[in-house]
Structure 1
Amino acid sequence: MAEIHRRVRERLRSQLVEGGGPQPFDDPALFADVEAVLRAAASTPDTARLILPELLGDADTWRLTTSMRYRSHRGGAAGSLRIFIKRRLVMPLLRWIFEYSRDNFERQRRVNHVLFACVQELAVETALLRREIERLSRIPKE
């Protein structure tokens, strides 16, 4: 199985390099490291806790809501009639737009989750590298 992963990784790397991808991907070891970080981020389950969403604050301020809410500022029979018309006449005509948009929103939510996981993984790597640099800079040179 590891051999299959290696061959797939090498084919992807060669396609990226031949297609004008980043120059550092000429190094197979570097590409493998980058691919491992991105694979780990992409395989992060949706239930995993990430730091970035916590820093963004209340989810209602940044997360898309895809549920339809029928409201009217009018009270009484006029408001009820408008809501009935929206639900029973207008919405069936426009349902395909709503479903298409909702599918796109769900895809975007998944991409956002993966990107949040990537940013978190890179932040961890950066913090570890900074610690290592700081530790090495404290060692007296001979």
Structure 2
Amino acid sequence: MNDYLVSFLFYLVPANLIAIAIIFLGRRKDVQISFIEYLFIYLPWVGFVALTLVIFGSLDAVPSIPAIKVFLVILQSIGSGVMGGAILMPRLVMKNSTMHPLSITAISATLITVLYVKFRMMLFIMIEGLSSAID
């Protein structure tokens, strides 16, 4: 199976579980989350794939050491899924804010994606150095 598809599938499970839990909790607190806001949870996965393309060229070009391949495709996808699902959390915290709800979600998505990509870039650069040192 294609590494992009595997990465996306492993992203979907935690992101949707957390997002759906937040949506149901929001309904109990009278916070309505729109479908457009829900789409913002996929932004960290896009950042993860974009960063992988910048550092390695493609997910298929990730160093062939099995531990690194599994770590990048599965564990990092799950990690970005948890971050992606948490994008909707500020809507619950800022329920009485005068700011437009879509703006809150957009700012949250941008900040979480930038933080995720920043810390993963440092990790990917270390992996790239490790794989070139082994070869």
Q: Quick check: TM above 0.5?
A: no
Normalising by structure 2, what TM-score? 0.31
Of Structure 1 and Structure 2, the greater helix share is in: 2
Normalising by structure 1, what TM-score? 0.30
Q: Select the structure of larger CA radius of gyration.
A: 1
Higher RCO by CA contacts (8 Å cutoff, separation 6 or greater): 2
